[in-house]
Amino acid sequence: MTSAIRAMSSRTKMTIFWLLFGASILLAVFPPLYLAGSGIDSPILGVPFSVAYWIFDALLATGAVWLLWIFENIRGEVGEEPEEVAA
């Protein structure tokens, strides 16, 4: 798995990150999604669905950032300064 992550292109890495992080943003700011979940009364693991929705959204965003950090840590990119673009 480590060698696959190292061989992965930077574009693929960022695509995976933005798919996960973008899904969490979409769940948070797209009204038809969160308004549909607000009227459901059934609990999930003892938590009302509307609260579980936001917990899931927060965990998805946190997981996306955490996964990006793991990928960059394996690839040795943590702590690197971005390359400056010539003007």
Q: Where is mean pLDDT largest: 31-35, 57-61, 70-74?
A: 57-61
Local confidence band at 19 (pLDDT 50, 70, 90 cut-offs):
very high
Three-state secondary-structure class, residue 43: strand
pLDDT digits (tens, 9 = 90+) for 72-85: 889 888 876 767 77
Q: How much is the pTM?
A: 0.74
Does residue 37 register a pLDDT over 90?
Answer: no
